[in-house]
Amino acid sequence: MSTPPTPIAAHTPIATHTPVAPEPMPLADIDLADNDRFLDGETPWRMFHTLRREDPVHWQPEKEPNSGFWALTRHADIVAVERDPQTFTSSRFTNLEEVDDSQIAVRRSMLETDGLRHTALRKLLHKQFTPRAIADYGTFLRGLTATTLDNALAKGTFDFVREVSADFPINVLARMLDVPDEDTEKLIDWGNRIIGNTDPDYADVLLESAESEQYRDLPFRSPASLEVFDYGREMAAKRRGGQGTDLVSRLVDQVPCDGVPLSQHDFDNYFLLLVVAGNETTRHAISHSMLALIRNPEQLDRLRDDLTLMPNAVEECLRWASPVYHFRRTATRDTELGGKRVREGDKVVLWFASGNRDEAVFENPYDFDVTRKKVDHVTFGKGGPHFCLGSALARLELRIMFEELLPRIADITLAGDVRRVRSNFVNGIKELPVTITPA
């Protein structure tokens, strides 16, 4: 007797997700420097899985002109390095690109500054990003979320990235910077082009290309940075000496607490950091969380049935999403890490995404579990001076997004292939086609 066909559950996703460890990849096949390996959403996790087990402080060779780096994939090592900026500095830059002193002088932002100057720069806007200050945006955020969702959900089938996650974070930043609504499209475009500098769909000039050499003095070697600088300078000129409480007014009307005023480069790079740091990252956090909920419909139901789970769920979403794969430090002296001899000047790369799947910290790390307690993720860094300035904002955006979204939908399924950003730096989703059934 043949068995009757299994009925298709209302939530059956196109691509099913099995929460098991990824298939290990032989150590010899691993290449974290190859952006192409980061396109399928599987290979990076396979590489991290093997590295954590077999070689947690791994020497990763790179193509010329880069010199290779130490890849740290365990949670404990990542946190230890974050907490020791004396030995592992950010001031030789935090991406894989190797820059000389003249590039550092013009491209440095607070992210690439250590010590007192870093503290002074951070303090300029620190108060604007505390959980209490951010809570003031709650009402605005809820209104923006509701409008974004109502417009998107009315379409039935749509690209979740384009219609929901892409514009949402930048609209919030636009409000904090007090830029006119009609300019937000420009900000989105700049963010895509700058951070997407290894993805041909986004970049004007690919980072690896010889052509990028003429833009070596610009952040991310992206010509779009010049447009951001022009825009920021124009805003600064308008705001200087005014009564504004927006981020730009605060930047131009305060002297950092070390008494050294912001130079033009300081201002340009600060402004650019604000435009790019919170935009792509939060967008991808929202998209990854949506994808995780689609692939784990029982988790979606659970969360929708009990929205008090949301604060925990947001932390699990952040762990799961890991929108920033890595940041880099540089050793300031010869030292030892995990039994390996690290030399002064070596690049040391913290693979936050891998730390977020570390079995030593997370039980069943490959399960997406909205009830997981004390989610000790390293998505925003951890315990170091560069811990993400915008973490409270990102958390609030995620919380409000899913508090507003879940009650509006009865069902959501994938309606096509998920496309990812080609980058070993940003763990990004650029297309997430979905079909929703309204509640």
Is 285 among the residues that bind ligand HEM (CB under 6 A)? yes
**CA dihedral of residues 268, 274, 277, 282 (deg, nearest 10):** -160
Is 386 among the residues that bind ligand HEM (CB under 6 A)? yes
Is 327 among the residues that bind ligand HEM (CB under 6 A)? yes
Q: Closest approach of Cβ 122 to ligand HEM, in Å?
A: 5
Is 390 among the residues that bind ligand HEM (CB under 6 A)? yes
Is 353 among the residues that bind ligand HEM (CB under 6 A)? no
Q: Which of 148, 171, 282, 330 binds ligand HEM (CB under 6 A)?
A: 282
**Distance between CA atoms of residues 99 and 136, nearest Å:** 39
Q: Closest approach of Cβ 23 to ligand HEM, in Å?
A: 27
- Specify the residue, 121 or 436, whose C-beta has the smaller distance to ligand HEM: 121
Spell 239-269 as b/e; 16+ CB within 10 A means b.
beeeebebbbbebbeeebeeeeebeeebbbb
Is 421 among the residues that bind ligand HEM (CB under 6 A)? no
Is 272 among the residues that bind ligand HEM (CB under 6 A)? no
Q: Which of 85, 196, 256, 278 binds ligand HEM (CB under 6 A)?
A: 278
**Distance between CA atoms of residues 280 and 394, nearest Å:** 11
Q: Please identify, among the stretches 5-13, 95-103, 258-266, 383-391, the one whose residues bind ligand HEM according to the rule CB under 6 A.
A: 383-391
Restricting to residues 93-112, which ones interact with ligand HEM according to CB under 6 A? 110-111
Binding mask 116-135 for ligand HEM (x = CB under 6 A): ------x-------------
**Distance between CA atoms of residues 83 and 80, nearest Å:** 5
Is 291 among the residues that bind ligand HEM (CB under 6 A)? no
CB atoms inside a 10 Å sphere around CB 317: 28
| Total residues binding ligand HEM (CB under 6 A) | 26
- Specify the residue, 342 or 349, whose C-beta has the smaller distance to ligand HEM: 349
Q: Closest approach of Cβ 139 to ligand HEM, in Å?
A: 18
Is 300 among the residues that bind ligand HEM (CB under 6 A)? no
**Distance between CA atoms of residues 152 and 299, nearest Å:** 22
User: Which positions touch ligand HEM (CB under 6 A)?
Assistant: 82, 110-111, 122, 273-274, 277-278, 281-282, 285, 323-324, 327, 352, 379-381, 384, 386-390, 393-394
